[in-house]
Amino acid sequence: MKILVTGGAGFIGSNFVRRTLEDAYPGLEGAEVVVLDALTYSGNLENLAPVAGSSRYRFVQGDIRHAGLLDELMPSVDAVVHFAAESHVDRSVRDASIFVETNVLGTQQLLDAALRNDVARFVHVSTDEVYGSIAEGSWDEERPLLPNSPYSASKAGSDLLARSYHRTHGLNVSITRCSNNYGRYHFPEKVIPLFVTNLIDDKHVPLYGEGLNVRDWLHVDDHTRGIAMVLVGGRAGEVYNIGGGTELTNRELTQLLLDATGKDWSSVDRVEDRKGHDLRYSVDITKIRTELGYEPMVPFEQGLADVVQWYRERRDWWEPLKARAALV
Our answer to whether residue 151 is catalytic in this structure is yes
User: Which of 259-290 are b and which e, b meaning 16 or more Cβ less than 10 Å from the residue's Cβ?
Assistant: ebbebeeebbeeeeeeeeebebbbbbbebbbe
Q: How far apart are CA 126 and CA 198, in angstroms?
A: 29
Q: Which of helix, strand or coil describes residue 196?
A: helix
Among 32, 112, 129, 216, the active-site one is: 129
Please give the distance of CA 99 from its chain centroid, rounded to a whole number: 15
Instruction: Report residue 94: phi and psi, to 5°.
Output: -75, -35
DSSP state of 283: B
DSSP state of 139: B
Q: How far apart are CA 19 and CA 225, in angstroms?
A: 8
Our answer to whether residue 252 is catalytic in this structure is no
Q: What is the 3-state composition of the chain as percent helix, strand, coil, each rounded to the nearest 5?
A: 45, 20, 35
245 class by beta-carbon count within 10 Å (0-12 exposed, 13-18 middle, 19+ buried)? middle
Among 57, 151, 281, 311, the active-site one is: 151
Among 112, 128, 189, 222, the active-site one is: 128
Distance between start and end Cα atoms, the chain: 42
Dihedral, 45, 37, 15, 279 alpha carbons, nearest 10: 120
Annotate 94-114 with DSSP letters as a single string: H--HHHIIIIIIIHHHHHHHH
- Which residues are CB-contacts of 95 (< 8 A; sequence separation ≥ 6)? none
The answer to whether 274 touches 208, Cβ cutoff 8 Å, is: yes
Provide the annotated active-site residues. Answer: 128-129, 151
